[in-house]
Structure 1
Amino acid sequence: MKIGEVARSAGVSVDTVRFYERRGVLPSADRRPSGYRVFPASAADRIRSAKALQDLGFTLDEVVDALRAHDTGDATCASERWRLEAVVARLDERIAQLQRVRRNASGCLADCRAGCCRLVGEGVVKP
């Protein structure tokens, strides 16, 4: 498949296909004498798998590692569960951080509504 066909089939841009190839999500494509990349039909499925992992919260490096583990043929749910556990732990920490920021912003908003705007003291707004 040419790069444009892979991109259309996977629902991504040609630039995304090139990027994924550079980052190791896709193996390097063969080249025709004309220089055009030629990908196996499985490339679109691999891109969809990578996007699905990213949608779960995996970083691109984690996606590459997970796909490499799959490529060895040794990957099982039991052997790869730690990857998803790490993603969930990272998401939990991010949620906790966002909750702290939201509490602070809500408190600041309540103070502003009560006429005691903290933003004035911080020099952000004029009294």
Structure 2
Amino acid sequence: MMKIGELAQKTGLTTSKIRFYERIGLLKTVDRRSNGYRTYPPQAVLILGLITTAQRAGFTLDEIRTLLPSDLQHWDHDALMDALTRKIADIEALQARLAQSKAHLLRLVEDIQARPEDMDCAANAHRVLTNMLMEHPENLDVTPDDVRLLDKTDRRLSVRRGRSKKVVSP
């Protein structure tokens, strides 16, 4: 048996984090001495390691609570495999969304950097927004009329600056 300070040292967790896990029911193998000190069995190190690893993998504390057995001898194999498979699917979906976001941002950076030399920043922002709306109006809550209005405004800005611009209407 070990005191909370020793358990904290072995796991790299703070004593307050260990008490928190105990309070919410994730760490159940706690004994109290007559002086009020908590003592923990050696398996507490493993349980806390499992909790930490599961959190890093994206599991919530509630998900961890439902998966952790009351002791480490009685795992629900089917529930564990189902939860792991679902988490893998969640991570894959997140990776796909992140890859899509990254590709969108890279295109946006490219579009911003493709600013004609004689165009000021405001007109370039307008140009980029117009391009975004024309390429992907489904991603924004806009109507085709909104795109046409932005396009007309963009043409007026170009004419006012003494440039004509060929714009393709949607």
Q: TM-score, normalised by structure 1?
A: 0.77
Q: CA deviation at 1:105?
A: 1.1
> Structure 1 unaligned runs (5+)?
122-127
The equivalent of 1:19 in structure 2 is: 20
Native 8 Å contact 2:112 2:128 kept in 1? no
Partner Cα distance (2:37, 2:12) in 1: 20
Native 8 Å contact 1:3 1:39 kept in 2? yes
Aligned length: 121
The 1:69/1:58 distance shift into structure 2, 3 A limit, reads farther
Q: CA deviation at 1:100?
A: 2.1
The equivalent of 2:48 in structure 1 is: 47
Partner Cα distance (2:95, 2:85) in 1: 15
Partner Cα distance (2:32, 2:70) in 1: 26
Partner Cα distance (2:71, 2:90) in 1: 22
Alignment of 1:1-127 (within 5 A): 1-27=2-28, 29-68=30-69, 73-76=74-77, 78-115=78-115, 116-117=124-125
> Structure 2 unaligned runs (5+)?
116-123, 130-170
Partner Cα distance (2:9, 2:55) in 1: 19
* Percent of paired sites with the same residue: 31
Which protein has the larger Cα radius of gyration, Structure 1 or Structure 2? 2
The 1:74/1:120 distance shift into structure 2, 3 A limit, reads closer
Q: CA deviation at 1:110?
A: 0.6
Root-mean-square deviation (CA), in Å? 2.7
Partner Cα distance (2:18, 2:57) in 1: 20
Q: TM-score, normalised by structure 2?
A: 0.60
Partner Cα distance (1:103, 1:47) in 2: 38
